Amino acid sequence: MRSRLSVLPILALLGLGAAAPANIAIQPVSRMDTPWWHQRFADKQAEIVRGRFDVVWLGDSITQNWERNGPEAWRDFAPTWQHYYGDRHAINLGFKGDSTCHVLWRLAHGELDFRAPPRLFVVLIGANNFGHVHTNAGQTYPGIVRIVDAIHARFPSSHVLLLGVLPSIRSAWVTANTRQLNRALQGDIRQGRPWLRYADVGAAVERDGAPDPSRFLDPHLLPPDPPLHPTAAAQETIARMIEPTVADLLGDRRH
């Protein structure tokens, strides 16, 4: 009869009897080995050190796109940023390709080192968790929780406005997990967090309740990509949708 010790290597190879793998969505992960990301991180650190900011947009490429200036109308985002945030001492901390794990690393390595507490953080993250990181809704949810809680722990007087993950047209799996995650965020994440607001802005890229390819910039690319990133017009709709909340939290006039 085989001893228990003799079968342990086989069980390990099969993944049986082993501990569950760690959830990468809640682990800080660096991208400093990617040159452009490293440079952007350094540039944003310098911006944080020398400035004073009331509004912080934190996220991935959808947030980073606010810095784009055309020339095509579908990727001319900067005028909308200037209209809504130009006079509000805002900073763009969006990094293309980032998921919750990368934002957690950034927050732990300087992106909360503001000279004074910002008045508002706008957080839009999670789309890339369903991409190359490939964590499902149940894994991604605690990653988002850790992000908003890290912000609050550092700046308890700041407001946080969390936006739901935008619909996309990538796969049935992504669509199902996006819906599941947003239901969980809308239903649960504000419990015990009076400083947090949640907004579902998915309608900005939808028509009749489904993602509308014409509201995404990706089909315009050569070669085209699956619809994921809002056009400049759709992103202006997002800014307009959240403006009443932004103005209210800042005690400001509506832009």
Radius of gyration of the chain, Cα coordinates, nearest whole angstrom = 20
Q: Give percent of the chain above pLDDT 70.
A: 92
Write the pLDDT tens digit of every residue in 148-207. Answer: 999 999 999 999 999 999 999 999 999 999 999 999 999 999 999 999 999 999 999 999
Q: What is the CATH number of domain 28-250?
A: 3.40.50.1110
* CA-based end-to-end distance of the chain: 77
Reported as a pLDDT band with limits 50, 70 and 90, residue 9 is: very low
Spell out the domain ranges in the chain.
28-250
**What's the pLDDT tens digit per position in 194-234?**
999 999 999 999 999 999 999 999 999 999 999 999 999 99
Global confidence as pTM: 0.91
